[in-house]
Structure 1
Amino acid sequence: MSEALERNYRVGEEIGRGRYGVVFRCHSLHTGDCVAVKSIEKRLIQDDAVDSLCISNEAKLMSLVSDHTNVLGIFDVYEDDEFLHMVLEYCGSADLYQRITSLPVFSELEAHRVMLQLMEAISHCHSRGVAHRDIKPDNIFFNSYNVLKLADFGSAGYFHSGELMSGIVGTPYYVAPEVVAGREYNEKVDIWSAGVILYIMLSGIPPFYGDSATEIFESVLRANLRFPKSYFASASCEVKDLLRQMLCKDVRRRFSAEQVLAHPWITDGGGSMSECCYRA
């Protein structure tokens, strides 16, 4: 641990572990507040130019967007020859992955509570020129007041309006088809990922799946969106329409974050709860 970090924080137990780093619970020696510190070991990323660049930019990009209620806050950054330490807002509740695991199917009202906050976070990031690029349930936290916090900007990218990005980043079930295809892409990759999350919350299954990463990618590339009656029989017409707009293979027609927030299912608090005619 950095001496500068330990002069200001008392580092506690490990609470998480990723590919390159470990997350610890900490307490500020000045205020007593509980925070988290993400410690990244530099030697683990020095041979991967893409990951090295993303992680070196993570703190900078978080600082651009962490002033929003639904984005995880970043308080301090400490760096030495061996480690990069980021002091972050602590969230003590289960993340969205854990919630989906314990509650396989959400009601539309429950899904709306999550999606509204997630889209507010995404819209804010995009307005600051930041694309998250790895939106998935594991990166969506909740604080003790059940406020959603978008976290882990290790794969995030910065873009100017109209500028395209490149690089294969993301997670198989949630990655957009243009990324899988190796094409340049824009910030709407985040809309696709959020659409996958909404689909999973409502049905308990991913919209595009396979028995291996290769099969999942092939399914994503086909982008054959269906609503199996056994899973979506009671889903509202409004939420199905929103999913079609978010999981649209044609990026030009895919909704932006602002368009999602203006959709009736979002603005009406979860859309109509009445059944609608089945459309595959």
Structure 2
Amino acid sequence: MCETTILKNKYQMCEEIGRGRFGIISRCFCPSKNAFFACKTIRKDLLADDSTDRECLQNEPKIMQLLSLSPHPNILHLHDVYDSDDSLSMILDLCHPSTLYDRLSSSRPLLTEPKSAALLSQLLSALAHCHRLGVVHRDVKPDNILFDAHDPSRLKLADFGSAAWLGEDGGRLSGVVGTPYYVAPEVLLGREYNEKVDVWSAGVVLYVMLAGIPPFYGETVEEIFEAVIRGNLRFPPRVFREVSKEAKDLLRKMICRDASRRISAEQALRHPWILSGGEVTPID
């Protein structure tokens, strides 16, 4: 019996809830579990044999299977994989259709410090879990942060197509991977790097949550990369006038150009601003 037939026997496909370059995401129902899930199906014929996208296709289920052996509430869980000659289907947690990017795009006024701290705490918890298992996400950004369909306040880190495993000896990685506004400078400089690249990206996510703009920007991708490499972190008064010194301190420690001085996800979780839930003394 082929993988596609097994998939259809176990899951009842419902409506389409998302679409990407190479496939679709559908809501599906599993009668044996009496529960709804998301089915991400990617067509292999749309991928070039030597493309980075094909490498991501092979990589994502392997990384997610590793993470799913030790499930974390803030990481998208992989329940089943069906790999056929024509397509790859992954059965995942069902999430709310809007991402953190969508929430930030429609959030006026900007998120409060307590709301930002609650979201960052969950993201850091997910990253700390990944890093303990030797997994580096390498593309942390608002677009890859989803929310549980049953509990919209619960964040779910998703899209592990660019992720990599450091190995049991805590090795180093190489290769330019990531998204312009969020990628760490050591990646762009062609150096070997480790899990600290995820902390940089999470720090940029926090900056965007508090300011509504990224810390490093430009008119072109090249200009953005140049700004990231310079790593000149600033807090424009017109934007950060009401942001606490504790939040700024955490941003400086996460968006630190020197990776050896950049704090880890575990250390960031113990930062006073996170421990207080973003509840700080108002600025006079």
- Give deviations 1:29-82, integer Å, cap 9, x for gaps: 323311001112223334335432332121121122230011111110001111
CA contact (8 A) 1:238 1:271 kept: no
Unmatched runs of 5 consecutive residues or more in structure 1: none
Written as runs of structure 1 = structure 2, the 5 A alignment for 1:84-123 is 84-92=88-96, 94-104=98-108, 105-123=110-128
Identify which of 272, 278, 284 aligns with 1:264: 272
Find the aligned partners of 1:273 and 1:84 in 2 and give their Cα distance: 51
Give CA-to-partner distance per residue, 1:66-118, whole Å, 9 cap, x none.
30011111110001111111000001252211110111511100101100000
- Provide the rounded CA distance (Å) in 1 between the counterparts of 2:221 and 2:261: 27
CA separation of 1:29 and 1:235: change in aligned 2, threshold 3 A: same
Residues 49-88 of structure 1 aligned to structure 2 (within 5 Å): 49-66=51-68, 67-88=71-92
Secondary structure of 2:91's aligned partner: strand
Residues 17 and 97, structure 2, Cα contact 8 Å, conserved in 1? no
Q: Name stretches of at least 5 consecutive residues in structure 2 with no aligned partner.
A: none
Q: Does 1:131 align with 2:127?
A: no
Instruction: Specify the alignment match of 1:249 in structure 2.
Output: 257
Partner of 1:9: 11
Is residue 2:147 matched to residue 1:142? yes
Instruction: Tell me, in whole angstroms, the C-alpha distance in 2 between the residues paired with 1:202 and 1:136.
Output: 15
| Percent of residue pairs bearing the same amino acid type | 52
User: Compared with structure 1, are the counterparts of its residues 81 and 56 closer, same or farther at alpha carbon in structure 2 (3 Å cutoff)?
Assistant: same
Bigger Cα displacement from structure 2, 112-121 vs 18-27: 18-27
What is the CA-CA distance between 1:218 and the residue it aligns to?
1.1
Partner Cα separation in structure 1 for residue 254 and residue 94 of structure 2: 30
How far 1:179 moved relative to its partner? 1.2
What is the TM-score normalised by the length of structure 1? 0.94
Q: Which moved more, 1:126-135 or 1:61-70?
A: 61-70
Q: Does 2:199 align with 1:195?
A: no
Which residue identity lines up with residue 111 of structure 1 in the other structure? Answer: S
TM-score by length of 2: 0.92
Q: How many residues align?
A: 276
Distance of 2:14 and 2:27 partners within structure 1:
5
- Structure 2 counterpart of 1:156, from 158, 163, 178: 163
